[in-house]
Amino acid sequence: MLMRTDPFRELDRLAQQFTGVTGTRSRPSAMPMDAYREGEEYVIVFDLPGVAEDALDIDVERNMLTVKAERHPVGRAESVHMELSERPFGAFSRQLVLADTLDTERITADYEAGVLTLRIPIAERAKPRKITIGGQSERKQINS
């Protein structure tokens, strides 16, 4: 039901981990995610620790879901000398192609404790249904 749009994103993530370079608006870093089906909906979970809720941008156009976030470095006084800085900051983005069988009109989003959870219901047209065969005699039903 979901498809990654950039197969080299994982290589970019590894390169960023080794070089320490964080994302920019023109070349954002990837954000880790999980995607799974739960009953009649797909759930997509993104880890965004330290990102303020107002720094999130979620957009869907046709079947392309785009999630963008930005984390700013902690403001420091001039007297502070940073000894270690491992927490990534900058721009983060992820794009997913959603299947036509998902209802993009009813996506819901929750953000709690640095975790963004999107729930996308399966469209009614994609659910199994009974089809009745018409006629003068006895009607039969089959699964589609």
pLDDT in tens, 116-127: 999 999 988 777
Q: Looking at 48-105, which runs of residues are DSSP E strands?
A: 56-61, 64-71, 90-98
Amino acid letter at 42?
Y
Question: Quick check: pTM over 0.85?
Answer: no
DSSP state of 30: P
Does 20 score more than 80 pLDDT? Answer: no
> Residue 69's CB: how many other CB atoms inside 10 A?
25
- Confidence label for 86 from pLDDT (cuts 50, 70 and 90): confident
Write out the two tokens for 70: 């930005």
Amino acid letter at 66?
T
If one compares 84 and 122, the residue with the highest pLDDT of the two is 122
> Residue 100's CB: how many other CB atoms inside 10 A?
11
The proportion of the chain whose per-residue pLDDT surpasses 70, expressed as a percent, equals 72
- Confidence label for 132 from pLDDT (cuts 50, 70 and 90): confident
Q: What is the pLDDT of residue 54?
A: 93
Q: What is the pLDDT of residue 123?
A: 87
Averaged pLDDT for residues 28-40: 88
Does 53 score more than 70 pLDDT? Answer: yes
The proportion of the chain whose per-residue pLDDT surpasses 90, expressed as a percent, equals 42
> Residue 73's CB: how many other CB atoms inside 10 A?
13
Digit-coded pLDDT (tens) for 103-116: 999 999 999 999 99
